Chains A and B, each alone.
Chain A
Amino acid sequence: MEEKILLKEGIDIDLKGRGGDTPPAEPNINEYDFFVLEEALNLDREEIIEQIKEAYLKGRGGAGFPTGLKWEMALAEEAEQKYMICNADEAETGTFKDRYLLENVPFKVLEGIIIGAYAIGAEQAYIYMRGEYARPRNVFSKAIEEAYKQGLLGEDILGSGFNLELRLIKGAGAYICGEETALLNSIEGKRGRSRTKPPYPIQKGLFDQPTAVNNVETLASCREIIRIGAKEYKSLGTKESRGTKLVCLSGDIWKPGVYEVEFGQVTIKEIVEEYGGGTRDDAQLKFIIPGGASTSILPAEKLDIPYCYETLAQAGSSVGSGAIIVVDDSHNLFDLMVTVSRFFMDETCGTCFPCKEGNRQVNHILNKVADKGGFSKEEVEIVKSIGRTIYLSARCGLGQTSLNFIYSILKNYPDEVLLGGDKHGKD
């Protein structure tokens, strides 16, 4: 298999080799050519947006909203001040692609931010980075500092007449702040609780002004679209999934890491077996989680499908953030459910009561179930009922997706998780 390289541009990290303790060399601004930025600043705002729309780029943070459309709406808003925000609050379990980009190709991300800000007419931008990302923060802070010195930020960028201030905001340990409205509250110095939508950030975002919030990989992809042109970008991938995607392989696998995949050209099975080298110690693959802990699992026998938005949706799951977590058959399913459930119980922001209390109750039930080694029919009903309630009443993605993992385990492995006498009760 050949990797279609756009985002990674030949830079690779050998995870096994460096063991994290000796990080790769820091990128040098003098060795980077900002020609794509220069080209973009010579285009009209509408032309850039047209390119992104034509490329049919979907947001790479997890929700998959069309980026061009977001920018078009942001540009159309009339306001004295608009904001561009780069969401670098990567915290979905299994996801580390944005850290990869921030550490290895920070200038590409920087170009993406500037291009996005220019396209929507924002003169103030922020990059909100999770507090735990100390090294990416150091690398990117330096990139910002040097960019100011070289006239790539500040007034009259590259003689274009466009002004942009960019500031890094350090998060303080809250998964929910990756949700765009919670992120806005956090930048405003408040508790990172989600807001009710509408109004959407595009209309009333940071300090009630029109705001575009885009993921790190999304912005880096925008830079690539301007570089190679929308036509070439959209020739990659499938009808609903254009271009490439960074996938993060982790779990029970020989070669974990960040890989760039052209949508639709490889199957999930190939990603696991050929990129990832298959499951460790010749254990049997049990299932994978395709897009982080908030997406539904896909059992081993259903992985022979091309990796793209449409096939994953058909299979009842989602591309999500691109975090493929591989799980072999050596684990106790109850322990895995307790682990994932604890994540959501710890990370709910607590605003919507069903999400706050529901996830706590589910965790409580799962601990009980793990102790006795199986669900009773009644316990399954309670978990499902709590799940429905959270799904219907939580106002953000965290709550709505918090039980996908548990649900999909119940659905795929009823015989393994139901107590003996209740096994015939599956629906």
Chain B
Amino acid sequence: MGDVSFLERLHNLQDTYGYIPEKEIVSLAEEYDVPKAKIFGVISFYSMLYTEPTGKFIVRVCDSLSCYLNESDDLVRAVKDYLGIGHGETTEDKRFTLEVVECLGYCGEGPVMMINDKVYTYVSEKKALNILSNCL
């Protein structure tokens, strides 16, 4: 909020808790002297910040044009089937959150999947299931 460190603080909270809990939103609102809704509004604007708990692994699968041309729709389907959840959902055991996203910037190497901070390229369905089964 009028502060170059604000976004970084939100990232830090996100990294600490896996989401930004309400108590932190309340204390940020007090500190910056703005309504709680304003802080919430900023958080909800950005797709990498969450106000609800996420899984230990956030799985992002790109479905933008360049990846789509490389059959990312098959990959998306395979990952959804394997995890048993849809876009924006978290598995019951809180291991995985799935996001079907727009462009991860590895368009020459599609289809592309990102798990937390790690990017995987040329992801076949088999490779994807292998990677996911190793996320413990």
Q: Which residues of A contact B (CB under 8 A)?
A: 15, 19-21, 90-96, 99, 126, 130-135, 167, 169-175, 186-193, 207, 248-252, 256-258, 289, 293, 323, 325, 327, 331, 335-336, 339-340, 342-343, 346-347, 349
Contacts and interface: CB of A to CB of B under 8 A. Distances in A.
A172 B48 contact: yes
A167 B3 CA distance: 13
Contact of A336 (B5, B65, B106): B65
A92 B105 CA distance: 8
Contacts of A90: 105
A190 B46 contact: no
A289 B107 CA distance: 13
Contacts of A126: 4
A131 B46 CA distance: 10
B46 A173 contact: yes
Interface in B39-96: 41-42, 45-49, 60, 63-66, 68-70
B46 A96 contact: no
Given A126-B4, A172-B11, A191-B45, A91 B119 contact: no
B102 A340 contact: no
B108 A188 contact: no
A189 B11 contact: no
Contacts of A91: 102-103, 105
A132 B65 contact: no
Given A21-B121, A250-B66, A327-B69, A172 B46 contact: yes
A396 B125 CA distance: 38
B132 interface: no
Contact of A167 (B4, B112, B118): B4
Contacts of B112: 20
Contacts of A131: 11, 46, 48
Contacts of A134: 117-119
Contacts of A173: 46-49, 101
Nearest to A347: B102
B107 A96 contact: yes
Given A93-B64, A96-B107, A251-B69, A20 B121 contact: yes
Contacts of B101: 173
22 contacts: A19-B109, A20-B119, A95-B103, A95-B107, A96-B108, A99-B106, A130-B105, A132-B48, A132-B114, A169-B8, A172-B7, A172-B11, A172-B47, A188-B1, A189-B5, A189-B6, A190-B2, A191-B41, A248-B108, A250-B69, A251-B65, A293-B64
B108 A15 contact: yes
B65 A172 contact: no
Contact of B119 (A135, A169, A323): A135
A325 B66 contact: yes
A343 B64 CA distance: 7
Contact of A172 (B2, B10, B69, B118): B10
B42 A189 contact: yes
A126 B41 CA distance: 24
A346 B106 contact: no
A343 B107 contact: no
B103 A175 contact: yes
Given A172-B11, A339-B68, A96 B120 contact: no
Contacts of B69: 250-252, 325, 327, 331
Given A293-B64, A339-B64, A343-B65, A169 B4 contact: yes
A170 B8 contact: yes
Given A191-B41, A343-B64, A257 B108 contact: yes
A317 B65 CA distance: 18
Closest 3 interchain pairs by CB?
A189-B6, A20-B121, A256-B108
B53 to A, nearest CB: 18
Nearest to B3: A189
A270 to B, nearest CB: 18
- Give the most central of B69, B108, B118: most A CB within 10 Å: B108
A336 B66 CA distance: 10
A93 B7 contact: no
Contact of B109 (A15, A167, A188): A15
A405 to B, nearest CB: 9
Given A172-B10, A191-B41, A340 B65 contact: yes
Contacts of B102: 91, 93, 175, 342-343, 346-347
Nearest to B45: A191
B110 interface: yes
Given A15-B109, A190-B42, A93 B3 contact: no
A161 to B, nearest CB: 25
